[in-house]
Structure 1
């Protein structure tokens, strides 16, 4: 590697003369001794991340998005395709993958999250390898170690959603582009194009990382190499073609998909680093080190800096001028380049200071690492606790009622109630959600469907003093015919038991 670490031009090979004598084949042990140290940054980082992510991976209850993944994964491929025509088109490929994965591995919390855990470990390993290739082996290793310490790296590794895959493919694509530019062989460009397609399939917004690719290609073209730039443009266009139907469907579903996102504000911009890292202290330590790296020559820092600025600026501009998209998990792809820039700054310190800073990051990350492993760490109700309450107190003939047109509460409760010995009947389901082409079941609206039940459970995905307010049209009848005999409020949920009044 030259001092100009981002000089991705190919060096001309030494010309052989007819008098050159072929060298003796290099012994296998010697070859292994040469490439094994190159693997160490990626190997150490990836294995460490895998181990950290697996610690208590099944402890947090599924989030309200994860229960959607669990429910949709049990549909047929045809039913999944019916769903993505109406909703969640950007997650369609992940749902299909999860369908086949759970058919083999099952649907436990760990089984659902294991693909993301492996993907995040792979992404950290690739980030370390990218740091090694662009800079030095030590930079690569420190990049990987920083990522292992970030709480949100662990949090989204143990998340049954495609964000860890987006992190993996965002680094893989840049790494493959680097190899394609340096080697120039057709199969390398094919692999690069495939990685771009997979990046878009994991999450369309992750394609904002292509800004960094354009910067790298622009640097090559500026040095007089036009052919790689043309090849890159054609490869990217071909890679994006399969994604056009998904992008079209996603644009049509935008109002439904992103209606919950709040408008971007200066306060939300200032809070984004903490949201992305999962720890305010870790965020500002790493960002502070990134600032220290800014004195380096621009040509060295351009690719990782563009990998940070591309997604951040794009999402900010789109959120301000078009539709709000300023969401922390959509920016997880910036963690790897930020860690790399911080590693560059640390690489300029003495070894003792470098170790001290890494230990400081590890120390301030402890609260965040603990927080992401709490049973109720995820966003959404504590379905597990609610299901355990019902399982403990349920009696034969009980029925369960949810708020109307609710996406996650029924899916979450179904997931955890299936793990109880018995469960109440859900008599309001007219057409199950998997047959509606949506995430919501079609329900009966007449209270007569439940009026004959002796005991009635009402479960709501928030905290309220009166669970019957979730069914305001039925509240007078329930108040007249039933009395509340049980009331519990686990995290972000209300569970109430009503028994019919004798008379």
Structure 2
């Protein structure tokens, strides 16, 4: 309780501590927030750097298109396709109604979510280990190229990383009660914390688990780490009720996700048809695909493996958190349907960084002055981080290239159309292609004029799908046009194979006057024969 000593400086008493000056308590509190704050701000700055340079990916143009639908249209969509992204689409609908659907606006929620995820990772490291380990883990995540890539991606994966870290941190608070002093770890005693507050934290934890699954069901595999952490604490306290409370909270949290899981299971043939079966070579490539850089991946994994030489009690839940998503996706890929995709396992990056940080910074002194930063062990940590950053530079540059994202270069194709388009031109897209029409529409609308999409019959917003319906009489509708732009979503030698019904028209009445190849796409311009 607060008190006074002889009318001088006020003091406060803390459990297990002698009376300490209030200024010292304030300084400790300030130091406590530094690892998370510094890491989050650093991640925010790095993620914003060049965030709009890459054009939207084929998945991002889908996000952009669906974000302009009404909630009723989104509800209809998820009953046919993309059910697992329904929560994200609904959120993006709300966001773009306030801030628009420009490239930065579409990506900003993910940038903020990833910055928060990195900050929470640093805070988790501080609570489980030391402030230095927390800060080191945060900096490691900032260095990893794919942390920036998926921060600047208008898809739900950054949110999954955020809710993964938030749920584990809330679980730590719920079972530890206090600020989980770094010497206590996840099984810190819950004494001194009001029961009402603990119940409130459990409710927040359940909400975080619900949102984790709502943004991506595969991420619920991280609950294996939660089970291990609770099991360790319950065993040490000889309190099986703790495990029961956790299990009840999780069951209540995930129960509302059952309809979503049912829809997703029925849609797996359309959602994952493009994923090849898991192979040994695919497994070998996965570390580089998760991190965005092969050298960074193996350096990070090497440091993480070295963490096994440190006390295991607090490392076990972190190790399980790193392994559970990878194992879950691998098992599902073998037994259910192929889903061996790097972005589905992005949640493994944060615990991997924590393990690497433990190996790198455990036992190092906690600097309290500028002079303390000159300690030799701290300098070695800095040198390793600088080495890793230097190794990551090519990967960081690569993810910021204009065509770094998956799919065709819609922005480049739209600029091409804008350069050569004439009044009366029309544009033709590959049939039943979900992304080419959405991507071109997104960028063409920024031009003063654009070719007419004369084959469009029913927009995708009204079909309840991601593809639009087209008029069947394609040749008749194109006849007489001053120019026909044919967009092909690959670089095939004969572009007319994508629209065989137009071959006679385009080879007899029109002549090809231009053909341009862009990433994963070909644009062909036809003009009437003179």
Question: TM range, normalised to the smaller chain?
Answer: over 0.9
Partner of 1:314: 328
- Quote the residue 1:246 is aligned against: 260
- Name which of structure 1's ranges 166-175 and 455-464 shifts more when overlaid on structure 2: 455-464
- In the alignment, what sits opposite 2:515? 487
Within the alignment, does 1:327 sit opposite 2:341 as a pair?
Answer: yes
How far the C-alpha of 1:32 sits from its partner, in A, is: 2.7
1:377-404 CA-to-partner distances (Å, cap 9, x unmatched) read 0000000000000011111110000111
> Within 2, Cα distance between the matches of 1:171 and 1:109?
27
- For residues 342 and 443 of structure 1, the distance between their equivalents in structure 2, rounded to whole angstroms, comes to 53
Q: Secondary structure at the match of 2:467?
A: coil
> Deviation string for 1:189-242 (max 9, x for gaps)?
000000000101111111110000000011122221212111101100000011
For residues 365 and 25 of structure 1, the distance between their equivalents in structure 2, rounded to whole angstroms, comes to 48
Aligned partners of 2:258 and 2:22: how far apart in 1?
Answer: 47
Deviations 1:115-165 (A, max 9, x none): 000000000000000000000100000000000000000000000000000
Report what 1:180 is aligned to: 174
SS of 1:299's equivalent in the other structure is: coil
| 1:154-193 equivalent positions in 2, closer than 5 A | 154-183=148-177, 185-193=198-206
Moved more, 211-220 or 30-39: 30-39
Matched residue, 1:385: 412
CA-CA distance at 1:498 after TM superposition? 0.2
2:58 to 46, 60, 64: 64
Maintained 8 Å contact 2:10/2:22: no
The residue number in structure 1 matching 2:291 is 277
1:288 & 1:327 partners in 2: Cα distance?
22
Question: Is 1:302 aligned to residue 302 of structure 2?
Answer: no
Structure 2 residues without counterparts, runs of 5 or longer: 2-8, 13-20, 178-194, 365-376
Distance of 1:25 and 1:360 partners within structure 2: 45
Is 1:434 matched up with 2:461? yes
Tell me, in whole angstroms, the C-alpha distance in 2 between the residues paired with 1:491 and 1:327.
21
> Matches of 2:24 and 2:283 in 1, distance apart?
52
Q: Write the distance in 2 (CA, Å) between the matches of 1:218 and 1:29.
A: 38
Per the TM alignment, residue 29 of structure 1 is displaced from its structure 2 partner at its CA by: 5.0
Residue of structure 1 aligned with 2:480, choices 435, 445, 452: 452
Asked if 1:217 is matched to 2:230, the reply is: yes
Query: What's the CA shift for 1:333?
Result: 0.1
Equivalent of 1:234 in 248, 269, 290: 248
Matched length: 481
Q: What corresponds to 2:373 in structure 1?
A: none
Q: Structure 2: how far apart are the matches of 1:100 and 1:239?
A: 24
State the distance in 1 between where 2:142 and 2:323 align.
22
For residues 281-304 of structure 1, give each alpha carbon's deviation from its aligned partner in whole angstroms, at most 9, with x where no partner exists: 000000000111112232121111
Q: Which residue of 2 aligns with 1:201?
A: 214
Aligned to 1:87: 81
Q: What is the CA distance between 1:312 and its match in structure 2?
A: 1.0
Counterpart for residue 189 of structure 2: none
User: TM (normalized to structure 1)?
Assistant: 0.94
Q: Distance in 2 between matches of 1:61 and 1:32?
A: 46
CA displacement, residues 221-276 of structure 1 (integer Å, 9 cap, x when unaligned): 22212121111011000000111111010000010001111100111111110000
Deviation at 1:60, TM superposition (A): 0.3
Q: What's the CA shift string for 1:438-490, capped at 9, x where partnerless? A: 00001012121111212100011111233222101221222111100111112
Determine helix, strand or coil for the equivalent of 2:218.
Answer: helix
* Structure 1 Cα separation of the partners of residues 86 and 328 of structure 2: 24
Equivalent of 2:439 in 412, 415, 418: 412
1:54-76 per-position Cα deviation (integer Å, ceiling 9, x unaligned): 00101100000000000000011
Residue in 1 aligned with 2:28? 34
**CA deviation digits over 1:71-91, x for unaligned, max 9?**
000011100111001000000
User: Offset of 1:24 from its aligned partner?
Assistant: 5.8
For the residues of structure 1 that align with 2:484 and 2:11, how far apart are their CA atoms? 79
1:464 is aligned to 2:492: yes
Shift of 1:28: 6.7
Matched, 1:365 2:395: no
Q: Distance in 2 between matches of 1:137 and 1:481?
A: 73
Question: Counterpart in 2 of 1:356?
Answer: 383
Q: Establish whether residue 286 from structure 1 lines up as the match of residue 300 from structure 2.
A: yes
For residue 115 of structure 2, what is the aligned residue in structure 1?
Answer: 121
